[in-house]
Structures are given as C-alpha cells and as structure tokens.
C-alpha cells in the first residue's frame, strides 16, 4: 500500500531533501546537494521564484518508510505570458517500484488538471537555471553540482506511466590538451579590432558585481529563442547572485564589452565541486566548507556553466575572444579536463562553437511529457 503525503512542515521538508541520501547511498556518481541550500530553495521567504510560481511537495510512503518524492511546480510566467500551459515536476526520486512512481505522478497530473494545464513535463526545476533532465545514457560518470543523477531504472518508470520524450540534452567533455590556441588566437585579435571590443577579466568577486545584472539581461536575450525559456526577473537576479557567485572564482568569469562598455558576451565557468560535495555529505560544517574551498582553489577540472553572446554579435566569432581569455587562465592554473553542463540537443549554434576541441558526448538526458 502506497501512501502519498504532502510536505507541510519543516520536518517533512528536511525528509524530502534528505531522501536521495538514502536512495543513492554508496553511489560513486551521485553528487549530494548542500542540505541547507536545498531547504532554502523551497523556502518562500528565501527564493523569489515563488513570487511567480507555486510548488507543492509530496512524499511517498510504503510500510511507513519514505520511498519516493516529487515537486509539482507551476511557473505562472510561463503559463500566462508564454501560453505554455505546462505542469512542471522535478526533484523526482523513487525506489524501483512502479506503484510508487505512478502514485507520485498522479499527484502531479491532478494538480495540472485542477489548474487547467495541458501537459506535464519533467524532470525540470522552476526555471532555466535549475537542474534538468533524467539520465538515459552515461551513468558511469560523476555528476556536476548543477545536475541531477538517477538510477538506470528511472526511464522505465516514465514509460510505464505513459510519458514520452519531450526534449533531449547532451553533456560533453574534452581534455584541455585538445585546445589548440591557433584556432582562436589570431581570430580574436582581429574580431576585437573589427568590432571595437575588449575582454574584461576579474580578480575579485566585487569587481564582477557592477556587471552582474547586465549579464542576466544578456542571458535573457541570448536564450529567449530556445524552447520553453522563462526569463530571469529582477528579483531573481539578486537571489542567483547570492546563491552562485561565491562558488565561482572571479577569474573564471569572462565578459566582452563594446566601445561603449555595453556587455555583448559572457561566460561562466565553475571549478568541479563534485568530489568535494561527496566528501561534505550535504553539510558545510564542520568539514564540508573546507572541502569546497579546497576544490575552488585547486580543482583541475572545470564546468562550463553558461555562455552567451548578444544576438547582434552571434556568428561573428566573439566566442574566440572568450576562449582566448580562458586559455590563458586555464594554462596558468593547470586545468586538465573541461566539462559542459546539459545543452539542448537541437541547440546547434552552441554545439558548433566547441567543434574545434573535439568534445566527447559522455552523457545524455531527456525530459518526459504527458498530455493531461
């Protein structure tokens, strides 16, 4: 007998956040979140996304033990402004029991129907800066901190519940030794002269802050054409700056501006925190923070988190300017491996800029959809 209960207390929320620690105990590839951060994600007083979104969390019980969880999400900006009548769901984890996953999905679907939504899609978060997709290929690699991991049996649960593939995502990697500076060094110098551009580099986080809001604005412009893109609001900008900037080395943030100091390109790279987070086991104290700080300073692996070029400058080689700056920084720091976080399979423009580095697709993800 499966019992589904809605999360209504702090105790329930903590159980919701900690369930994967039991489900993936002993996994070499699952990267645990920081528990305190996950709790804040669902705190309406902390996360401004709740100004424009609703979320209801559910736990599944079997024999009085938690055996699954799901977050049912409605992003009202998406529903009302884009006429995307989508019922989102994420943080979807469960034991290998079809009755468990089915019962959780039925809760999601019922909420969608109650709100006159047309289809459900998941796993996704609140916005495009959240985690996305269930792994269907590439289970034998550790996951970056900004992605979800899942057991191989998850796919059959989506299919058994009548869900079909909605979107595909790929994750790629390449050794830094693959990077030949001749592919961009001369080009970037020419591009900077032709368009009167300059690259900005930083040594301190406070130097980044005057450009941070401009970066989010450019992010919105760059990705607006992608399917189901939901723009980042002004209040969310402050939240994301607080949440992520302390994890990013300022020297790993690269901006390109024009002669009027207008931001026309950016990229954000993060050190790999996966192994540090595994050691931290979800806690910053007493030792978790030291593991994370060590990774920030000394990790030889990096994750390309975001890269964006203003639409007016796309296909003009601006990415060569960015790559040149990273080449100098990565050479100085002795970087060994570069990873790219999930990108839509049909985003050929972004795939094309990496082609000279011979990237290897090592993991694939999907989101699944069901009409309501």
Whole-angstrom distance, CA of residue 280 vs CA of residue 274: 10
Is residue 164 predicted with pLDDT exceeding 90?
A: yes
Residue 271 confidence (pLDDT):
95
Reported as a pLDDT band with limits 50, 70 and 90, residue 227 is low
- C-alpha 317 chain-centroid distance: 26
Is residue 181 predicted with pLDDT exceeding 80?
A: yes
Residue 273 confidence (pLDDT):
95
- Place domain 175-364 in its CATH homologous superfamily: Gcn5-related N-acetyltransferase (GNAT) (3.40.630.30)
Is residue 267 predicted with pLDDT exceeding 90?
A: yes
Residue 248 confidence (pLDDT):
87
Whole-angstrom distance, CA of residue 311 vs CA of residue 162: 38
pTM over 0.85: yes
Residue 243 confidence (pLDDT):
74
Q: Is 141 helix (H, G, I), strand (E, B) or coil?
A: coil
Residue 231 confidence (pLDDT):
77
88-112 pLDDT, tens digit per residue, is 999 999 999 999 999 999 999 999 9
Residue 226 confidence (pLDDT):
67
87 in Cβ contact with 111 (< 8 Å)? yes
Whole-angstrom distance, CA of residue 179 vs CA of residue 159: 40
Q: So what's the architecture of 2-169 in CATH?
A: 3-Layer(aba) Sandwich (3.40)
Residues in Cβ contact with 114 at an 8 Å cutoff, skipping those fewer than 6 apart: none
pLDDT, averaged across the chain: 93
Average pLDDT over residues 115-135: 94
Residue 60 confidence (pLDDT):
98
Residues in Cβ contact with 361 at an 8 Å cutoff, skipping those fewer than 6 apart: 170, 171, 172
Average pLDDT over residues 135-162: 97
Prior bond of 286 cis (ω within 30°): yes
Residue limits of CATH 3.40.630.30 in the chain: 2-169, 175-364
DSSP 127: S
Residue 213 confidence (pLDDT):
87
Which residues on neighbouring strands pair with residue 46, listed in sequence order? Answer: none
Residue 209 confidence (pLDDT):
85
The beta strands (E) that lie in 223-332 are given as 253-257, 263-271, 301-309
Average pLDDT over residues 334-351: 91
For residue 170, give the nearest of 365, 368, 308 by alpha carbon: 365
Reported as a pLDDT band with limits 50, 70 and 90, residue 287 is confident
Residue 228 confidence (pLDDT):
64
10-67 pLDDT, tens digit per residue, is 999 999 999 999 999 999 999 999 999 999 999 999 999 999 999 999 999 999 999 9
């Amino acid at each position: 007998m499966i019992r589904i209960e809605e999360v209504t207390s702090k105790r329930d929320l903590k159980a919701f956040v900690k369930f994967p620690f039991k489900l993936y105990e002993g996994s070499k590839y699952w990267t645990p979140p920081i528990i305190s951060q996950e709790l804040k994600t669902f705190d309406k007083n902390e996360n401004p996304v709740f100004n424009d979104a609703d979320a209801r969390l559910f736990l599944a019980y079997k024999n009085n033990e938690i055996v699954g969880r799901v977050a049912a999400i409605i992003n009202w900006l998406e529903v009302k402004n884009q006429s995307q009548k989508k019922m989102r769901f994420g943080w979807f984890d469960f034991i290998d029991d079809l009755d468990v996953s089915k019962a959780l999905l039925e809760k999601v679907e019922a909420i969608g129907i109650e709100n006159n939504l047309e289809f459900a899609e998941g796993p996704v978060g609140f916005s495009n800066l959240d985690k996305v997709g269930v792994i269907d290929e590439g289970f034998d690699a550790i996951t970056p901190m900004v992605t979800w991991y899942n057991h191989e049996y998850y796919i059959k649960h989506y299919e058994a519940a009548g869900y079909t593939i909605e979107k595909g995502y790929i994750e790629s990697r390449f050794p830094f030794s693959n990077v030949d500076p001749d592919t961009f060094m001369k080009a970037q110098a020419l591009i900077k002269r032709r368009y009167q551009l300059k690259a900005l580099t930083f040594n301190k986080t406070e130097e980044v802050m005057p450009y941070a809001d401009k970066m989010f604005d450019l992010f919105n412009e760059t990705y607006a054409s992608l399917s189901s893109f939901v723009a980042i609001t002004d209040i969310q900008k402050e939240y994301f700056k607080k949440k992520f900037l302390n994890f990013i080395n300022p020297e790993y943030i690269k901006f390109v501006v024009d002669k009027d100091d207008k931001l026309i390109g950016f990229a954000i790279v993060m050190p790999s925190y996966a192994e540090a987070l595994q050691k931290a086991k979800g806690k910053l104290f007493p030792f978790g923070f030291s593991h994370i700080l060590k990774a920030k300073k000394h990790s030889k692996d990096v994750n390309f988190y975001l890269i964006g070029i203003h639409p007016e400058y796309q296909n003009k080689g601006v990415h060569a300017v960015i790559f040149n700056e990273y080449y100098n920084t990565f050479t100085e720091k002795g970087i060994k491996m570069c990873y790219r976080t999930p990108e839509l399979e049909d985003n050929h423009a972004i795939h094309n800029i990496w082609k000279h580095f011979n990237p290897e697709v090592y993991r694939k993800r999907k989101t699944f959809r069901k009409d309501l």
